[in-house]
Amino acid sequence: MIEGRALIGGIRQLNKSFVSADDVAKRAGVSRSAVSRTFTPGASVSDETRQRVMAAAQALGYHVNQLARGLMRSESGIVCLVVSEMDTPYRARLVRALTHELQRAGKISMLINTDRSDGSVDAALRQTLHYRADASILLSGLPDKAITKLCLDSGQRIVLINRDDEIDGPFRINLDDGHAARVTVSAFLRAGCRHLALANSAVGTPSLMARERGFVAAAAEFGLDVTVVRHGNTVYESGRKIAQTLFAEPKQPDAVFCVNDLMAFGLMDGARHDFGLRIPEDVCVVGFDDIEQAAWASYALTTFSQPVDEIVKNSIAWLANHGGESQPEVRSINLHAPMIWRKSIRGMQRPIS
Partner DNA sequence: TTGTAAGCGTTATCAC
Partner DNA sequence: GTGATAACGCTTACAA
CB of 323 to DNA, least distance (A): 14
Among 18, 155, 204, 249, binds DNA (CB under 7 A): 18
The residue within the footprint of its own copies, chosen from 272, 277, 317, 333 (CB under 8 A), is: 272
**Radius of gyration of the chain measured on its C-alpha atoms:** 27
Q: Please list every residue from 122 through 151 that binds its own copies, using CB under 8 A.
A: 123-124, 126-132
21 touches DNA (CB under 7 A): yes
Count CA within 13 A, CB hemisphere, residue 325.
0
Q: What is the C-alpha to C-alpha distance for residues 219 and 225, in angstroms, rounded to an integer? A: 7
For its own copies, the closer CB: 77 or 232: 77
Residue (186 or 321) nearer to its own copies, CB: 321
**Which does residue 104 touch among DNA, its own copies, none (CB within 5 to 8 A, set by kind)?**
its own copies
Give whichever of 199 and 226 is closer to its own copies, judged by the CB atom: 199
Nearer to DNA, 63 or 331 (CB): 63
CA dist., res. 242 & res. 212, Å (int): 15
Binds DNA (CB under 7 A): choice among 26, 59, 61, 69: 69
Measured from the CB of residue 49, what is the shortest distance to DNA in angstroms?
3
Which backbone phi and psi does 29 adopt, to 5 degrees?
Answer: 70, 35
Which residues between 106 and 125 bind its own copies (CB under 8 A)?
A: 106, 108-113, 115, 120-121, 123-124
Q: Which residues fall within 8 angstroms of residue 112, CB to CB, at 6 or more apart?
A: 80, 81, 82, 83, 121, 124, 125, 127, 128
How far is it, in rounded angstroms, from Cα 114 to Cα 206? 18
Q: Which of these, 32, 311, 11, lies nearest to 161 by C-alpha position?
A: 311
Rounded distance between C-alpha atoms, residue 67 and residue 73, angstroms? 10
Q: Which residues contact 31 (CB under 8 A, 6 or more apart)?
A: 25
Rounded Cα gap, residues 247 and 282, in angstroms: 11
Q: In angstroms, rounded to a whole number, what is the distance separating the alpha carbons of residues 166 and 89?
A: 27
330 binds, among its own copies, DNA, none (CB under 5 to 8 A by kind): none
Using CB under 7 A as the binding rule, whether residue 343 contacts DNA is answered as no
Total binding residues toward DNA, as defined by CB under 7 A? 29
Question: Which partner from the list its own copies, DNA, none does 33 bind, CB cut-off 5 to 8 Å by kind?
Answer: DNA
68 is a contact residue toward DNA (CB under 7 A):
yes
Widest distance between CA atoms in the chain: 88
- CB nearer to DNA: pick between 45 and 229: 45
Beta bridge partners of 79: 109, 135
Query: Is 326 strand, coil or helix?
Result: coil
**Site map for its own copies, 198-237, x if CB under 8 A?**
--------------------------------------x-
Residue 40 touching DNA (CB under 7 A):
yes
Task: Please identify, using beta-carbon distances, which residue of 35 and 175 lies nearer to DNA.
Answer: 35
Contacts of 86 (CB under 8 A, 6+ apart): 92, 95, 111, 113, 139
> Using the rule CB under 8 A, is 63 a contact of its own copies?
yes
16-22: long-range pairs with CB below 8 Å, 24+: 18/63, 18/65, 19/60, 19/61, 19/62, 19/63, 20/62, 20/65, 21/62, 21/64
Nearer to its own copies, 234 or 353 (CB): 234
Among 4, 46, 309, 334, binds DNA (CB under 7 A): 46
128 touching DNA, by CB under 7 A: no
Rule CB under 7 A: which residues touch DNA? 17-18, 20-22, 30-37, 39-40, 44-46, 48-49, 62-65, 68-69, 71-73
